[in-house]
Chains A and B, each alone.
Chain A
Amino acid sequence: MYDELLEDIAQENGLREVNTYTKLAAGLGGILLCLLSTSFAAPLFIAVALSLALLTIARIDAKTYLKIFVGPAIFALFSVIVIILISGGGEIFWRWQPLPWLSLSITRVSINEGLFVFSRFLGGMSSLVFIALTTPMTDLFAVMRRARFPAEVLDLAMIIYRTIFLIMSHLVLVYRAQVMRLGYRSIRESVHSYATLCGAVFIASWESGEDLVRAMEARCYDGKFAALGEGGPVRLRPALAVFSFLVISAGIVVATRHISFM
Protein backbone atom coordinates (compact mmCIF):
# COMPACT_ATOMS: atom_id res chain seq x y z
CA MET A 1 0.00 0.00 0.00
CA TYR A 2 2.94 2.33 0.54
CA ASP A 3 4.83 1.29 -2.58
CA GLU A 4 6.13 3.93 -4.87
CA LEU A 5 3.69 4.49 -7.70
CA LEU A 6 4.77 4.01 -11.30
CA GLU A 7 3.68 7.57 -11.91
CA ASP A 8 6.08 8.89 -9.28
CA ILE A 9 8.97 7.01 -10.89
CA ALA A 10 7.95 8.34 -14.30
CA GLN A 11 7.96 11.91 -12.99
CA GLU A 12 11.58 11.64 -11.94
CA ASN A 13 13.17 9.28 -14.47
CA GLY A 14 16.25 10.25 -16.47
CA LEU A 15 14.31 10.47 -19.73
CA ARG A 16 11.64 12.79 -18.30
CA GLU A 17 12.65 15.72 -20.46
CA VAL A 18 12.94 13.75 -23.71
CA ASN A 19 10.15 14.60 -26.13
CA THR A 20 7.03 12.52 -25.46
CA TYR A 21 6.56 11.50 -29.11
CA THR A 22 10.13 10.20 -29.27
CA LYS A 23 9.50 7.99 -26.23
CA LEU A 24 6.11 6.87 -27.50
CA ALA A 25 7.70 5.95 -30.86
CA ALA A 26 10.17 3.67 -29.05
CA GLY A 27 7.49 2.04 -26.87
CA LEU A 28 4.69 1.68 -29.43
CA GLY A 29 7.16 0.78 -32.17
CA GLY A 30 8.53 -1.95 -29.90
CA ILE A 31 5.07 -3.39 -29.29
CA LEU A 32 4.23 -3.33 -32.99
CA LEU A 33 7.47 -5.06 -33.99
CA CYS A 34 6.92 -7.72 -31.29
CA LEU A 35 3.53 -8.42 -32.86
CA LEU A 36 4.92 -8.49 -36.40
CA SER A 37 7.86 -10.72 -35.57
CA THR A 38 7.47 -14.40 -36.35
CA SER A 39 10.57 -15.38 -34.42
CA PHE A 40 11.60 -15.14 -30.78
CA ALA A 41 14.79 -13.16 -31.61
CA ALA A 42 13.40 -9.71 -32.34
CA PRO A 43 11.14 -9.53 -29.24
CA LEU A 44 14.10 -10.65 -27.10
CA PHE A 45 16.30 -7.98 -28.64
CA ILE A 46 13.61 -5.35 -28.01
CA ALA A 47 13.26 -6.51 -24.39
CA VAL A 48 17.00 -6.34 -23.78
CA ALA A 49 17.48 -3.00 -25.54
CA LEU A 50 14.58 -1.24 -23.82
CA SER A 51 15.40 -2.75 -20.42
CA LEU A 52 19.00 -1.58 -20.72
CA ALA A 53 17.79 1.87 -21.72
CA LEU A 54 15.48 1.95 -18.71
CA LEU A 55 18.11 0.76 -16.26
CA THR A 56 21.01 2.87 -17.49
CA ILE A 57 19.70 6.02 -19.19
CA ALA A 58 16.39 6.41 -17.36
CA ARG A 59 18.12 5.33 -14.10
CA ILE A 60 15.26 3.09 -12.97
CA ASP A 61 16.12 1.02 -9.92
CA ALA A 62 16.76 -2.60 -11.05
CA LYS A 63 14.87 -4.04 -8.08
CA THR A 64 11.79 -1.95 -8.81
CA TYR A 65 11.99 -2.90 -12.47
CA LEU A 66 12.13 -6.60 -11.63
CA LYS A 67 9.24 -6.20 -9.21
CA ILE A 68 7.10 -4.67 -11.95
CA PHE A 69 7.83 -7.70 -14.10
CA VAL A 70 7.17 -10.37 -11.49
CA GLY A 71 3.35 -10.28 -11.43
CA PRO A 72 2.76 -10.41 -15.19
CA ALA A 73 5.69 -12.84 -15.57
CA ILE A 74 3.96 -15.40 -13.33
CA PHE A 75 0.86 -15.22 -15.52
CA ALA A 76 2.96 -15.44 -18.66
CA LEU A 77 4.89 -18.45 -17.35
CA PHE A 78 1.67 -20.33 -16.60
CA SER A 79 0.38 -19.60 -20.08
CA VAL A 80 3.67 -20.67 -21.64
CA ILE A 81 3.67 -23.96 -19.67
CA VAL A 82 0.12 -24.63 -20.83
CA ILE A 83 1.08 -23.84 -24.43
CA ILE A 84 4.12 -26.12 -24.26
CA LEU A 85 2.09 -28.98 -22.78
CA ILE A 86 -0.99 -28.70 -24.94
CA SER A 87 0.23 -27.77 -28.41
CA GLY A 88 1.92 -30.47 -30.39
CA GLY A 89 3.76 -31.20 -33.61
CA GLY A 90 7.25 -32.34 -34.58
CA GLU A 91 9.55 -34.50 -32.53
CA ILE A 92 8.07 -35.59 -29.19
CA PHE A 93 10.37 -35.32 -26.15
CA TRP A 94 7.91 -36.27 -23.41
CA ARG A 95 4.36 -37.50 -23.31
CA TRP A 96 1.81 -38.27 -20.60
CA GLN A 97 -1.88 -39.13 -20.80
CA PRO A 98 -3.40 -38.71 -17.32
CA LEU A 99 -7.00 -38.99 -18.60
CA PRO A 100 -8.41 -40.68 -21.70
CA TRP A 101 -9.40 -37.33 -23.21
CA LEU A 102 -6.35 -35.34 -22.01
CA SER A 103 -2.92 -35.82 -23.43
CA LEU A 104 0.08 -33.69 -22.38
CA SER A 105 3.25 -33.62 -24.39
CA ILE A 106 6.39 -31.60 -24.91
CA THR A 107 7.42 -31.41 -28.54
CA ARG A 108 9.86 -29.43 -30.64
CA VAL A 109 7.09 -27.26 -32.06
CA SER A 110 5.51 -26.67 -28.65
CA ILE A 111 8.82 -25.56 -27.12
CA ASN A 112 9.37 -23.18 -30.03
CA GLU A 113 5.83 -21.89 -29.67
CA GLY A 114 6.20 -21.42 -25.89
CA LEU A 115 9.51 -19.62 -26.19
CA PHE A 116 8.11 -17.41 -28.93
CA VAL A 117 5.13 -16.41 -26.79
CA PHE A 118 7.36 -15.78 -23.78
CA SER A 119 9.78 -13.62 -25.76
CA ARG A 120 6.82 -11.68 -27.13
CA PHE A 121 5.64 -11.18 -23.57
CA LEU A 122 9.08 -9.91 -22.56
CA GLY A 123 9.34 -7.58 -25.56
CA GLY A 124 5.80 -6.25 -25.27
CA MET A 125 6.00 -5.83 -21.53
CA SER A 126 9.34 -3.97 -21.70
CA SER A 127 7.92 -1.66 -24.36
CA LEU A 128 4.84 -0.96 -22.26
CA VAL A 129 6.86 -0.48 -19.08
CA PHE A 130 9.21 1.75 -21.04
CA ILE A 131 6.31 4.08 -21.80
CA ALA A 132 4.92 3.84 -18.26
CA LEU A 133 8.22 4.56 -16.55
CA THR A 134 9.49 7.32 -18.81
CA THR A 135 6.33 9.18 -19.75
CA PRO A 136 4.13 10.44 -16.91
CA MET A 137 0.37 10.58 -17.41
CA THR A 138 0.55 14.38 -17.39
CA ASP A 139 2.59 14.29 -20.60
CA LEU A 140 0.28 11.70 -22.14
CA PHE A 141 -2.66 14.07 -21.50
CA ALA A 142 -0.91 16.65 -23.67
CA VAL A 143 -0.48 14.06 -26.43
CA MET A 144 -4.13 12.97 -26.14
CA ARG A 145 -5.24 16.60 -26.44
CA ARG A 146 -3.08 16.92 -29.54
CA ALA A 147 -4.63 13.71 -30.90
CA ARG A 148 -8.05 15.40 -30.54
CA PHE A 149 -9.44 13.19 -27.82
CA PRO A 150 -12.88 14.52 -26.84
CA ALA A 151 -12.34 17.39 -24.37
CA GLU A 152 -14.98 16.02 -21.98
CA VAL A 153 -13.24 12.66 -21.69
CA LEU A 154 -9.83 14.23 -21.31
CA ASP A 155 -10.91 16.81 -18.70
CA LEU A 156 -12.57 14.06 -16.74
CA ALA A 157 -9.43 11.91 -17.01
CA MET A 158 -7.31 14.77 -15.71
CA ILE A 159 -9.62 15.41 -12.78
CA ILE A 160 -9.66 11.69 -11.97
CA TYR A 161 -5.87 11.63 -12.14
CA ARG A 162 -5.63 14.52 -9.67
CA THR A 163 -8.29 13.04 -7.37
CA ILE A 164 -6.82 9.54 -7.30
CA PHE A 165 -3.80 10.79 -5.38
CA LEU A 166 -5.95 12.68 -2.88
CA ILE A 167 -8.12 9.62 -2.30
CA MET A 168 -5.03 7.40 -2.12
CA SER A 169 -3.49 9.56 0.60
CA HIS A 170 -6.78 9.54 2.49
CA LEU A 171 -6.97 5.77 2.13
CA VAL A 172 -3.43 5.38 3.52
CA LEU A 173 -4.28 7.63 6.48
CA VAL A 174 -7.42 5.70 7.40
CA TYR A 175 -5.68 2.37 6.88
CA ARG A 176 -2.79 3.38 9.13
CA ALA A 177 -5.20 4.58 11.80
CA GLN A 178 -6.91 1.19 11.65
CA VAL A 179 -3.67 -0.78 11.79
CA MET A 180 -2.51 1.31 14.76
CA ARG A 181 -5.64 0.32 16.61
CA LEU A 182 -5.20 -3.35 15.65
CA GLY A 183 -7.98 -3.22 13.09
CA TYR A 184 -6.65 -6.17 11.08
CA ARG A 185 -5.88 -8.56 13.95
CA SER A 186 -8.37 -11.26 13.02
CA ILE A 187 -10.25 -12.15 9.86
CA ARG A 188 -13.52 -10.97 11.34
CA GLU A 189 -12.00 -7.68 12.35
CA SER A 190 -10.25 -7.31 8.99
CA VAL A 191 -13.54 -7.65 7.15
CA HIS A 192 -15.12 -5.07 9.43
CA SER A 193 -12.15 -2.68 9.11
CA TYR A 194 -12.05 -3.10 5.36
CA ALA A 195 -15.72 -2.21 5.12
CA THR A 196 -15.19 0.88 7.26
CA LEU A 197 -12.19 1.81 5.13
CA CYS A 198 -14.28 1.59 1.96
CA GLY A 199 -17.02 3.67 3.58
CA ALA A 200 -14.58 6.34 4.76
CA VAL A 201 -12.94 6.55 1.35
CA PHE A 202 -16.32 6.76 -0.37
CA ILE A 203 -17.34 9.68 1.83
CA ALA A 204 -13.96 11.34 1.31
CA SER A 205 -14.25 11.05 -2.46
CA TRP A 206 -17.78 12.42 -2.33
CA GLU A 207 -16.55 15.38 -0.31
CA SER A 208 -13.59 15.97 -2.57
CA GLY A 209 -16.03 16.06 -5.48
CA GLU A 210 -17.94 18.84 -3.77
CA ASP A 211 -14.70 20.66 -2.98
CA LEU A 212 -13.70 20.36 -6.59
CA VAL A 213 -16.89 22.02 -7.80
CA ARG A 214 -16.40 24.80 -5.25
CA ALA A 215 -12.75 25.28 -6.19
CA MET A 216 -13.66 25.46 -9.87
CA GLU A 217 -16.51 27.89 -9.23
CA ALA A 218 -14.22 30.12 -7.18
CA ARG A 219 -11.93 30.37 -10.16
CA CYS A 220 -14.58 31.32 -12.68
CA TYR A 221 -15.01 27.86 -14.27
CA ASP A 222 -16.45 28.28 -17.72
CA GLY A 223 -16.01 24.81 -19.16
CA LYS A 224 -12.36 25.20 -19.98
CA PHE A 225 -9.38 23.26 -18.73
CA ALA A 226 -5.94 24.58 -19.56
CA ALA A 227 -3.71 22.35 -21.65
CA LEU A 228 -0.25 21.56 -20.46
CA GLY A 229 2.31 23.34 -22.59
CA GLU A 230 4.36 21.18 -24.94
CA GLY A 231 7.21 19.25 -23.40
CA GLY A 232 10.78 19.34 -24.66
CA PRO A 233 11.19 19.62 -28.46
CA VAL A 234 12.23 16.63 -30.57
CA ARG A 235 16.01 16.50 -30.24
CA LEU A 236 18.38 14.90 -32.68
CA ARG A 237 20.24 12.47 -30.42
CA PRO A 238 17.30 10.71 -28.74
CA ALA A 239 15.34 10.74 -32.00
CA LEU A 240 18.29 9.16 -33.79
CA ALA A 241 18.72 6.58 -31.03
CA VAL A 242 15.05 5.60 -31.25
CA PHE A 243 15.20 5.53 -35.04
CA SER A 244 18.25 3.25 -35.04
CA PHE A 245 16.62 1.03 -32.40
CA LEU A 246 13.52 0.64 -34.55
CA VAL A 247 15.50 0.07 -37.75
CA ILE A 248 17.73 -2.56 -36.11
CA SER A 249 14.70 -4.29 -34.52
CA ALA A 250 12.86 -4.26 -37.85
CA GLY A 251 16.00 -5.68 -39.48
CA ILE A 252 16.07 -8.50 -36.94
CA VAL A 253 12.35 -9.14 -37.51
CA VAL A 254 13.00 -9.59 -41.22
CA ALA A 255 16.29 -11.49 -40.89
CA THR A 256 15.01 -13.98 -38.34
CA ARG A 257 11.56 -14.55 -39.82
CA HIS A 258 12.34 -18.24 -40.51
CA ILE A 259 14.49 -18.93 -37.48
CA SER A 260 13.18 -20.85 -34.52
CA PHE A 261 14.83 -21.99 -31.28
CA MET A 262 15.02 -25.72 -32.01
Chain B
Amino acid sequence: MDFLQAVFVTPFVEIWESPFFFIELVLVGLSTGVLYSLVALGFVLIFKASGMFNFAQGAMVLFAALTLVGLMEHGVPLWAALILSMAVMVVLAFVVERLMLRYLVNQEGLILFMATIGLNFILEGTGQLFWGSDVKRLEIGIPDKPFDLGPILLNTFDVTAAFIGAALVVSLAIFFQKTPMGRALRAVADDHQAALSVGIPLKTIWIAVWTIAGIVALVAGIVWGAKSGVQFSLSLIALKALPVLILGGFTSVPGAIVGGLIIGVGEKVAEGFWGPAFGGAIENWFAYMLALAFLVFRPQGLFGEKIIERV
Protein backbone atom coordinates (compact mmCIF):
# COMPACT_ATOMS: atom_id res chain seq x y z
CA MET B 1 0.00 0.00 0.00
CA ASP B 2 2.83 2.35 0.89
CA PHE B 3 4.56 1.42 -2.34
CA LEU B 4 1.46 2.09 -4.41
CA GLN B 5 1.10 5.43 -2.76
CA ALA B 6 4.76 6.24 -3.40
CA VAL B 7 4.30 5.42 -7.08
CA PHE B 8 0.86 6.74 -7.84
CA VAL B 9 0.21 9.55 -5.38
CA THR B 10 3.28 11.14 -3.82
CA PRO B 11 5.14 12.04 -7.03
CA PHE B 12 2.15 13.92 -8.41
CA VAL B 13 1.68 15.76 -5.15
CA GLU B 14 5.34 16.73 -5.23
CA ILE B 15 5.11 17.92 -8.83
CA TRP B 16 2.12 20.04 -7.84
CA GLU B 17 3.97 21.47 -4.89
CA SER B 18 7.27 22.23 -6.60
CA PRO B 19 6.50 22.95 -10.25
CA PHE B 20 9.77 24.79 -10.85
CA PHE B 21 11.84 21.80 -9.84
CA PHE B 22 9.74 19.79 -12.27
CA ILE B 23 10.34 22.29 -15.10
CA GLU B 24 14.02 22.32 -14.27
CA LEU B 25 14.19 18.55 -14.56
CA VAL B 26 12.31 18.68 -17.86
CA LEU B 27 14.79 21.22 -19.25
CA VAL B 28 17.82 19.26 -18.06
CA GLY B 29 16.18 16.16 -19.50
CA LEU B 30 15.65 17.88 -22.84
CA SER B 31 19.28 18.87 -23.06
CA THR B 32 20.44 15.30 -22.33
CA GLY B 33 17.74 14.05 -24.66
CA VAL B 34 19.09 16.01 -27.61
CA LEU B 35 22.37 14.17 -27.15
CA TYR B 36 20.62 10.79 -27.07
CA SER B 37 18.84 11.85 -30.25
CA LEU B 38 22.17 12.61 -31.88
CA VAL B 39 23.54 9.15 -31.21
CA ALA B 40 20.27 7.52 -32.26
CA LEU B 41 20.27 9.53 -35.49
CA GLY B 42 23.52 7.91 -36.49
CA PHE B 43 21.84 4.52 -36.21
CA VAL B 44 18.73 5.59 -38.09
CA LEU B 45 20.67 7.06 -41.01
CA ILE B 46 22.56 3.86 -41.67
CA PHE B 47 19.58 1.63 -40.97
CA LYS B 48 17.45 3.54 -43.42
CA ALA B 49 19.95 3.58 -46.22
CA SER B 50 21.28 0.05 -45.99
CA GLY B 51 18.95 -1.88 -43.71
CA MET B 52 21.98 -2.41 -41.52
CA PHE B 53 21.90 -2.14 -37.77
CA ASN B 54 25.26 -0.52 -37.16
CA PHE B 55 26.56 -1.94 -33.91
CA ALA B 56 29.70 0.14 -34.37
CA GLN B 57 27.90 3.48 -34.00
CA GLY B 58 29.04 3.80 -30.38
CA ALA B 59 32.58 2.92 -31.36
CA MET B 60 32.40 5.59 -34.05
CA VAL B 61 31.48 8.15 -31.39
CA LEU B 62 34.48 7.07 -29.32
CA PHE B 63 36.77 6.92 -32.33
CA ALA B 64 35.78 10.38 -33.53
CA ALA B 65 36.19 11.94 -30.10
CA LEU B 66 39.53 10.18 -29.54
CA THR B 67 40.81 11.42 -32.88
CA LEU B 68 39.84 14.97 -32.04
CA VAL B 69 41.36 14.91 -28.56
CA GLY B 70 44.45 13.09 -29.78
CA LEU B 71 45.07 15.72 -32.44
CA MET B 72 44.55 18.52 -29.95
CA GLU B 73 47.03 16.92 -27.56
CA HIS B 74 49.57 17.09 -30.34
CA GLY B 75 49.10 20.83 -30.43
CA VAL B 76 46.67 21.06 -33.32
CA PRO B 77 44.29 23.99 -32.75
CA LEU B 78 40.62 23.18 -32.25
CA TRP B 79 39.38 24.35 -35.66
CA ALA B 80 42.05 22.38 -37.53
CA ALA B 81 41.47 19.33 -35.37
CA LEU B 82 37.76 19.54 -36.15
CA ILE B 83 38.37 19.62 -39.89
CA LEU B 84 40.92 16.82 -39.68
CA SER B 85 38.60 14.64 -37.59
CA MET B 86 35.85 15.20 -40.13
CA ALA B 87 38.26 14.19 -42.86
CA VAL B 88 39.09 11.04 -40.90
CA MET B 89 35.39 10.18 -40.66
CA VAL B 90 35.04 10.67 -44.44
CA VAL B 91 38.02 8.38 -45.04
CA LEU B 92 36.45 5.87 -42.66
CA ALA B 93 33.26 5.92 -44.75
CA PHE B 94 35.26 5.19 -47.91
CA VAL B 95 37.15 2.38 -46.18
CA VAL B 96 33.97 0.82 -44.82
CA GLU B 97 32.40 0.85 -48.27
CA ARG B 98 35.52 -0.46 -50.00
CA LEU B 99 36.44 -3.19 -47.54
CA MET B 100 33.09 -4.18 -46.09
CA LEU B 101 29.81 -3.05 -47.68
CA ARG B 102 30.88 -3.80 -51.23
CA TYR B 103 31.17 -7.51 -50.43
CA LEU B 104 27.97 -7.70 -48.47
CA VAL B 105 25.42 -6.36 -50.95
CA ASN B 106 22.11 -8.18 -50.68
CA GLN B 107 23.17 -10.21 -47.65
CA GLU B 108 20.89 -10.99 -44.74
CA GLY B 109 20.46 -8.33 -42.07
CA LEU B 110 22.09 -10.60 -39.50
CA ILE B 111 25.25 -10.97 -41.58
CA LEU B 112 25.50 -7.22 -41.99
CA PHE B 113 24.98 -6.84 -38.25
CA MET B 114 27.80 -9.28 -37.50
CA ALA B 115 30.08 -7.33 -39.83
CA THR B 116 29.39 -4.15 -37.87
CA ILE B 117 30.29 -5.95 -34.63
CA GLY B 118 33.63 -6.67 -36.22
CA LEU B 119 33.93 -3.05 -37.26
CA ASN B 120 33.11 -2.10 -33.67
CA PHE B 121 36.14 -3.99 -32.33
CA ILE B 122 38.42 -2.66 -35.03
CA LEU B 123 37.42 0.94 -34.34
CA GLU B 124 37.73 0.62 -30.57
CA GLY B 125 41.08 -1.09 -30.98
CA THR B 126 42.55 1.33 -33.52
CA GLY B 127 41.31 4.35 -31.63
CA GLN B 128 43.04 3.27 -28.46
CA LEU B 129 46.11 2.01 -30.28
CA PHE B 130 46.71 5.42 -31.76
CA TRP B 131 45.58 7.66 -28.96
CA GLY B 132 45.94 5.54 -25.81
CA SER B 133 43.26 4.48 -23.38
CA ASP B 134 43.52 7.12 -20.66
CA VAL B 135 40.61 9.34 -19.85
CA LYS B 136 41.19 12.57 -21.72
CA ARG B 137 39.79 15.98 -21.06
CA LEU B 138 38.25 17.69 -24.02
CA GLU B 139 38.21 21.46 -23.75
CA ILE B 140 36.25 23.10 -26.52
CA GLY B 141 35.58 26.40 -24.87
CA ILE B 142 31.94 26.03 -23.97
CA PRO B 143 31.57 27.60 -20.51
CA ASP B 144 30.24 25.26 -17.84
CA LYS B 145 28.52 27.62 -15.42
CA PRO B 146 25.20 27.37 -13.68
CA PHE B 147 22.82 30.25 -14.20
CA ASP B 148 19.34 31.19 -13.10
CA LEU B 149 16.44 31.56 -15.46
CA GLY B 150 13.87 33.05 -13.13
CA PRO B 151 13.34 30.41 -10.46
CA ILE B 152 14.93 27.70 -12.61
CA LEU B 153 18.57 26.66 -12.32
CA LEU B 154 20.27 25.77 -15.59
CA ASN B 155 23.76 25.14 -16.86
CA THR B 156 25.34 26.99 -19.79
CA PHE B 157 26.99 23.84 -21.06
CA ASP B 158 23.75 21.85 -21.20
CA VAL B 159 21.99 24.68 -22.99
CA THR B 160 24.77 25.13 -25.55
CA ALA B 161 24.93 21.40 -26.16
CA ALA B 162 21.18 21.33 -26.66
CA PHE B 163 21.45 24.11 -29.24
CA ILE B 164 24.27 22.39 -31.10
CA GLY B 165 22.29 19.16 -31.17
CA ALA B 166 19.12 20.92 -32.25
CA ALA B 167 20.93 22.76 -35.05
CA LEU B 168 22.38 19.51 -36.36
CA VAL B 169 19.04 17.75 -36.15
CA VAL B 170 17.27 20.53 -38.03
CA SER B 171 19.89 20.64 -40.77
CA LEU B 172 19.68 16.87 -41.17
CA ALA B 173 15.91 17.06 -41.43
CA ILE B 174 16.15 19.70 -44.17
CA PHE B 175 18.85 17.70 -45.91
CA PHE B 176 16.70 14.56 -45.95
CA GLN B 177 13.42 16.15 -46.92
CA LYS B 178 14.46 18.89 -49.31
CA THR B 179 17.73 18.20 -51.10
CA PRO B 180 18.22 15.95 -54.14
CA MET B 181 20.79 13.92 -52.28
CA GLY B 182 18.50 13.46 -49.30
CA ARG B 183 15.85 12.26 -51.71
CA ALA B 184 18.31 9.81 -53.25
CA LEU B 185 19.15 8.52 -49.76
CA ARG B 186 15.48 8.00 -48.98
CA ALA B 187 15.03 6.27 -52.31
CA VAL B 188 17.86 3.84 -51.63
CA ALA B 189 16.43 3.15 -48.19
CA ASP B 190 13.09 2.34 -49.75
CA ASP B 191 14.08 0.06 -52.63
CA HIS B 192 17.64 -0.75 -53.73
CA GLN B 193 16.64 -2.19 -57.09
CA ALA B 194 14.40 0.69 -58.08
CA ALA B 195 17.06 3.15 -56.94
CA LEU B 196 19.60 1.50 -59.24
CA SER B 197 17.18 1.61 -62.15
CA VAL B 198 16.85 5.40 -61.94
CA GLY B 199 20.60 5.66 -61.87
CA ILE B 200 21.37 6.23 -58.21
CA PRO B 201 24.81 4.72 -57.61
CA LEU B 202 24.55 2.69 -54.40
CA LYS B 203 28.25 2.99 -53.68
CA THR B 204 28.23 6.77 -53.55
CA ILE B 205 25.11 6.78 -51.43
CA TRP B 206 26.60 4.39 -48.91
CA ILE B 207 29.72 6.48 -48.61
CA ALA B 208 27.54 9.55 -48.14
CA VAL B 209 25.46 7.90 -45.43
CA TRP B 210 28.47 6.62 -43.52
CA THR B 211 30.08 10.02 -43.81
CA ILE B 212 27.03 11.70 -42.33
CA ALA B 213 26.78 9.07 -39.61
CA GLY B 214 30.48 9.64 -38.93
CA ILE B 215 30.03 13.38 -38.60
CA VAL B 216 26.99 12.93 -36.38
CA ALA B 217 29.14 10.61 -34.27
CA LEU B 218 31.85 13.26 -34.14
CA VAL B 219 29.43 15.90 -32.85
CA ALA B 220 27.97 13.48 -30.30
CA GLY B 221 31.50 12.50 -29.27
CA ILE B 222 32.57 16.12 -28.84
CA VAL B 223 29.58 17.07 -26.74
CA TRP B 224 29.61 13.96 -24.55
CA GLY B 225 33.39 14.02 -24.36
CA ALA B 226 33.44 17.64 -23.24
CA LYS B 227 30.86 16.77 -20.62
CA SER B 228 32.33 13.64 -19.10
CA GLY B 229 35.79 13.20 -20.58
CA VAL B 230 36.78 11.16 -23.60
CA GLN B 231 37.07 7.58 -22.48
CA PHE B 232 36.14 4.06 -23.38
CA SER B 233 32.71 4.31 -21.78
CA LEU B 234 31.79 6.82 -24.49
CA SER B 235 31.11 3.87 -26.78
CA LEU B 236 28.53 2.67 -24.27
CA ILE B 237 26.21 5.61 -24.84
CA ALA B 238 25.27 3.69 -27.96
CA LEU B 239 23.40 1.40 -25.56
CA LYS B 240 21.33 4.36 -24.45
CA ALA B 241 20.42 4.91 -28.08
CA LEU B 242 18.74 1.51 -28.25
CA PRO B 243 15.70 2.42 -26.13
CA VAL B 244 15.52 5.66 -28.08
CA LEU B 245 15.36 3.68 -31.31
CA ILE B 246 12.73 1.33 -29.97
CA LEU B 247 10.63 4.30 -28.92
CA GLY B 248 11.13 6.29 -32.09
CA GLY B 249 11.23 3.47 -34.58
CA PHE B 250 14.37 2.40 -36.40
CA THR B 251 13.39 4.06 -39.65
CA SER B 252 12.25 7.46 -38.52
CA VAL B 253 14.41 10.56 -38.24
CA PRO B 254 11.75 12.54 -36.32
CA GLY B 255 11.28 9.39 -34.23
CA ALA B 256 14.91 9.39 -33.17
CA ILE B 257 14.63 13.03 -32.19
CA VAL B 258 11.40 12.77 -30.22
CA GLY B 259 12.44 9.40 -28.77
CA GLY B 260 15.66 10.90 -27.47
CA LEU B 261 13.83 13.80 -25.89
CA ILE B 262 11.25 11.52 -24.26
CA ILE B 263 13.94 9.27 -22.82
CA GLY B 264 15.99 12.24 -21.64
CA VAL B 265 13.08 13.96 -19.93
CA GLY B 266 11.60 10.66 -18.73
CA GLU B 267 14.67 9.50 -16.90
CA LYS B 268 15.36 12.82 -15.21
CA VAL B 269 11.78 13.30 -14.08
CA ALA B 270 11.49 9.65 -13.03
CA GLU B 271 14.68 9.93 -11.02
CA GLY B 272 13.55 13.14 -9.37
CA PHE B 273 10.03 12.17 -8.38
CA TRP B 274 9.69 8.41 -8.66
CA GLY B 275 13.23 7.59 -7.53
CA PRO B 276 12.45 7.48 -3.81
CA ALA B 277 9.76 4.83 -4.36
CA PHE B 278 12.36 2.46 -5.80
CA GLY B 279 15.22 3.46 -3.57
CA GLY B 280 16.80 5.79 -6.13
CA ALA B 281 19.12 5.31 -9.13
CA ILE B 282 16.28 4.49 -11.50
CA GLU B 283 17.76 6.86 -14.06
CA ASN B 284 19.95 4.03 -15.29
CA TRP B 285 17.24 1.53 -16.08
CA PHE B 286 14.23 3.72 -16.69
CA ALA B 287 14.90 3.98 -20.43
CA TYR B 288 15.10 0.22 -20.84
CA MET B 289 11.86 -0.37 -18.94
CA LEU B 290 10.15 2.18 -21.16
CA ALA B 291 11.57 0.45 -24.23
CA LEU B 292 10.29 -2.88 -22.96
CA ALA B 293 6.81 -1.46 -22.54
CA PHE B 294 6.96 -0.13 -26.08
CA LEU B 295 8.09 -3.47 -27.44
CA VAL B 296 5.04 -5.07 -25.92
CA PHE B 297 2.43 -2.51 -26.92
CA ARG B 298 3.78 -0.68 -29.96
CA PRO B 299 6.66 -2.57 -31.55
CA GLN B 300 6.99 -0.28 -34.56
CA GLY B 301 7.70 2.61 -32.20
CA LEU B 302 6.06 6.01 -32.10
CA PHE B 303 6.94 7.00 -35.65
CA GLY B 304 8.18 3.79 -37.21
CA GLU B 305 6.90 3.31 -40.71
CA LYS B 306 3.84 1.15 -40.64
CA ILE B 307 4.43 -1.30 -43.41
CA ILE B 308 1.91 -0.55 -46.11
CA GLU B 309 1.35 -3.61 -48.20
CA ARG B 310 -1.30 -4.80 -50.58
CA VAL B 311 -2.38 -8.35 -50.13
A and B physically associate: no
The interface of chain A, by Cβ under 8 A from chain B, is none
The interface of chain B, by Cβ under 8 A from chain A, is none
